[in-house]
Chains A and B, each alone.
Chain A
Amino acid sequence: MLRLPTSTDPSCLKEMLLVCKLSRSSPNRAQIGAMDMAAKRRRLIPSSLRWLLTVPISSRDCRLFFPLRLPATLQISLLSVHYNIHQTMASARVAKIAKYKTTIKDPGTPGTLTMTLEKILFVPRNPKSAGKLDVEFRYIKGQKHTKEGSNKPPWLNLTNNQNGSFIFEFENYSDLQDCRDFVGKVLAKSGEVSEKPTAAYPDEQLNAAEMELRIKLLQDDSELQKLHKQFVLSDVLTEAEFWATRKKLLDREASKKIKQRLGFKSAMVSDIKPSTDGRTNKVTFNLTPEIILQIFAEKPAVHRAFLSYVPNKMSERNFWTKYFRAEYLHSTKNSIAAAAEAAEDEELAVFLKHDDILASEARRKIRRVDPTLDMEADEGDDYTHLPDHGIFRDGNKEMTELQNELYKRTLSQDINRHAAVVLEGRAVDAEFEDTKAVAEALAHSKRESSNKGESDGNSPERLDRLSRMTEIEDLQGSNNLPLAPLCIKDPRDYFDSQQANALRTSGDALSGTEQIKCSLSIPEVYGSLRESISSIKTMGWKEPIVKPEVAHQVFDALTNSISNTKHNIGKNPQESVLDRLPRKTKEELLHIWTSILELLKHFWASYPITTSYLYAKVNRLKDAMSNIYPQLEEIKGSVPSEFRHQVSLLVRPMHQALDAAIQHYEASMQKRSTQSGEKPNGYV
């Protein structure tokens, strides 16, 4: 039998990619029996392959197998086809004939080893022998096995939490392989999230990065994982819907990844040292893509040689051998030997010569320098007011003789200023008769030049260009989308009351409660108020202000109610009822509450129902909500009696929320059914 890898995980929705393309030479006697595939899943297989299906056989294994009588030339190549295995009910098993050994020396008890997803069961063939074993997979930590090529018999060693081990000897290696795969899958599944959340929703394109984010989120938050398992994997909600409301979480997760580009290492990785093997006189170089990248980046001639020589003229291995031969020659600094070898081997010569690409790049850079770059002035030019031209002698920065500094002037300052003016050139050309004309002309020319200069100083384009050029993109923070400012279209309408409307309609709103009418006119009511005030002014306060019996009554009632609520709710106002319940109940209640919230969120968001997709979704959600009622009853029943009242108080708002939703659903269904009487074609 040829067994293909299958999923043995019963509780996940999985896309399995599998097609068998049978070789042309063999008659197609292959039968793929896919066990336990419900009819609707079969429909998902493309029709060209559907003939390959046969009726499932009674065993509940989920394996694809071919009958034995296939010719050996059968070639099976695995391509991809799409079918879903939705095995909520199936349990995958592996059963093998094996011997159970407690230690390596033990000859072993022959019997049958059966592995299901929950446990390992070994039943010895001789019912009287003592080797029966029943271990749950929870306790299995790891597995070891003997290799196929070695001379050892096929053994599988399962280690458990307490460092004990169970050794099984199989009849052949293929059995061992199967068991090993099965154990591996179960161990992998128990450790983490079952499978990748796959895109069951056909229109959704998910790339690997998105899926990774989702998996990571599910792994980090167990509450989210539970919700996901409960709803998405039981088909109440689709992936897309579940994650649609959690975009913010996904975004936050995505932004946590470092987007800064990593640079090269400072160490010269390309200067690698080989490992030498003294015995065989071989020298081994270890090349990783990182090292290769650095070599190509630093030596463009080598890069060019690689692109042109490999794979046409020589293999990669030869290429690198020659490269390292050249490096060795360089390191020996024996240029005569290098020249001699270069003369013989043309390719080697490439590595030995100077890198002409680098040379031409350098020349190009020199040509590219902007000749108009103006290095006319820098900070050091502003030295005339500093003592010693700003250069401090003997490293001391203190200014001594401060008050006389203003009056000192050195010869070098005069000479420098004269030289600067001479280099500037003659600003004023004409000949002048008197001093005033000279002064005015010089002032005029200075003003002109300063006007010209100022406009270039802090121009917005210059600043803009500067900011663009100095930006380092991967150090920028993420730009959140700009928040739209709230603009209230009509403040008066928003803030002011609409008295007329309120009067008209407030009666309807409060129609359920009694309304005390007041039938007096305005002056009457105000008059009565003022009368009360004057009466109290003349007579003073009522004596006593409050009668003792009344006060006593009030005080009693208040104390009673406070102590009752204290008993029911808790001593501490910050403490909540939940903390006093047993932990398991509390967790269950909280979980049910979050799942109710999730369902209600999706439920209310689907109204008004405009498409058939929403209609189906609402139905699914309603069914899921109806399933919660028995869960709540169960919790109420499982709680010890002293907490039962509080639990029912907690559960009441959950019931109310669910009831309101279901009521709304039924009302809309009724409305729809009365409406659809007019639309006989079933338009939803």
Chain B
Amino acid sequence: MASAPSKLYADDVNLVVVLLDTNPFFWSSSSLSFSQSLSHVLAFFNAILTLNQLNQVVVIATGYNSCDYIFDSASDLNRSYENGRMPVMSSSLLQKLEEFLIKDEQLSKEEPDGRIKSSLFSGSLSMALCHIQRVFRSGALHPHPRILCLQGSPDGPEQYVAIMNAIFSAQRSEVPIDSCYIGAQNSAFLQQASYITGGVHHKPQNLDGLFQYLMTIFATDLHSRSFIHLPKPVGVDFRASCFCHKNTIDMGYICCVCLSIFCKQHKKCSTCGGCAGQKKRGQMCDCRLEILHLSP
């Protein structure tokens, strides 16, 4: 699949929509503590805002049970959270984050069974895209939007369909999705997202220098990316989840009509109802579910 076509950006005004992972299960077992990462990240936001007067930052928290807007640098409500110790915007962000966590906790239903589960990445990605659409419709003069995902939770294979839909719509709107993965394993979804939309993906080796990684790689605005080199990953993990069980698979069956992926051969595709027709001798029938091999 080719990555997104490169758009010509006339200036370097950016709207960065940041998807901040607030999955408590992940943070409680991560080597980097939440407060440390918050200081890195908040300083990074301020740096973006100083790069250009017209830059904007919007932060969406990716929680465990819900997602919500935490911070919008363009809004005027930031004044009310004065706190002498830190910049005004940061304190308002923290306040909102705390309120979000309280709400999120109240939505929790079941007891965890020990494994780290994924956060609602698909939800926050969709919210980011909706916000960006609203920005697009706000008039001709708007900053160039991009999405930055700060994720640590593992991929949830059950969110595969929704995430892929969001990625394709981002590709369509030419919105690059950058991703910084601070978890332990690799995230196939984030790699695919960055690859398809033309963004940059990086997994920092040294989490103590997270701020440096953010400044070197992810502060680059879209206009400068045409002449500033960013690290390229060696390969992309294209593994998908099957539609019937939501397992991660690398060899499966595809319906030729709607391209849904299944792990076992079915007579009828459950998504579009296309049936496996009679195969003519020597010809590839249009209705047959065929084997696909997805290689990394």
Given contacts A245-B284, A501-B245, contact A532 B35 (CB under 8 A): yes
| Interchain CB contact under 8 A, A546 and B208 | yes
Q: How far is the CA of A653 from the CA of B294 in the complex (A)?
A: 12
- CB of B184 within 8 Å of the partner chain: yes
A507 neighbours in B (Cβ, 8 Å)? 115
Number of interface residues of A (CB under 8 A): 86
| Interchain CB contact under 8 A, B28 and A528 | yes
A525 neighbours in B (Cβ, 8 Å)? 24-25, 27-28
Interface hit among A221-229, A258-266, A486-494, A674-682: A486-494
Interface hit among A46-54, A315-323, A364-372, A512-520: A512-520
| Interchain CB contact under 8 A, B247 and A489 | no
Over the window 250-291 of chain B, the binary record of Cβ atoms lying under 8 Å from chain A Cβ atoms (1 yes, 0 no) is 000000011000000100001111000001011110000011
- CB of A683 within 8 Å of the partner chain: no
Q: How far is the CA of A610 from the CA of B210 in the complex (A)?
A: 56
Interface hit among A92-100, A351-359, A536-544: A536-544
Closest Cβ neighbor of A546 among chain B residues: B211
B249 to chain A, nearest CB (A): 8
Given contacts A490-B270, A518-B28, contact A535 B246 (CB under 8 A): no
- CB of B213 within 8 Å of the partner chain: yes
Q: How far is the CA of A551 from the CA of B159 in the complex (A)?
A: 35
Closest Cβ neighbor of A602 among chain B residues: B284
B195 to chain A, nearest CB (A): 13
B66 to chain A, nearest CB (A): 13
| Interchain CB contact under 8 A, B94 and A554 | no
A261 to chain B, nearest CB (A): 33
Q: How far is the CA of A521 from the CA of B108 in the complex (A)?
A: 11
A562 neighbours in B (Cβ, 8 Å)? 229-231
A332 neighbours in B (Cβ, 8 Å)? none
- CB of B76 within 8 Å of the partner chain: no
Closest Cβ neighbor of B22 among chain A residues: A529
Q: How far is the CA of A186 from the CA of B40 in the complex (A)?
A: 75
Given contacts A532-B38, A550-B212, A558-B213, contact A539 B283 (CB under 8 A): no
A238 to chain B, nearest CB (A): 7
Chain B interface residue count: which class? Answer: 35 or more
B216 neighbours in A (Cβ, 8 Å)? 554-555, 558
A522 to chain B, nearest CB (A): 5
Given contacts A513-B185, A537-B83, contact A489 B272 (CB under 8 A): yes
- CB of B39 within 8 Å of the partner chain: yes
- CB of A126 within 8 Å of the partner chain: no
Given contacts A245-B284, A489-B273, contact A554 B35 (CB under 8 A): no
A383 to chain B, nearest CB (A): 51
| Interchain CB contact under 8 A, A526 and B245 | no
Q: How far is the CA of A534 from the CA of B272 in the complex (A)?
A: 50
Give the residue of A517, A545, A547, A565 whose beta carbon is less than 8 angstroms from that of B232.
Answer: A565
A521 to chain B, nearest CB (A): 7
A563 to chain B, nearest CB (A): 8
- CB of B34 within 8 Å of the partner chain: yes
Closest Cβ neighbor of A238 among chain B residues: B282
Q: Which 9 A-B pairs have the closest CB atoms?
A: A497-B158, A525-B24, A554-B209, A532-B35, A540-B85, A532-B34, A502-B158, A554-B212, A526-B105
**In the complex, given contacts A550-B209, A604-B293, what are 8 additional A-B residue pairs having Cβ atoms less than 8 angstroms apart?**
A510-B154, A515-B115, A542-B35, A545-B40, A554-B209, A605-B290, A613-B281, A653-B295
**A positions within 8 Å CB-CB of B:** 201, 203, 238, 240-241, 244-245, 484, 486-490, 493-495, 497-499, 501-503, 505-510, 513-526, 528-530, 532-542, 545-547, 550-551, 553-555, 557-558, 561-562, 565-566, 569, 573-574, 604-605, 607-608, 610-611, 613, 617, 653, 656-657, 660-661
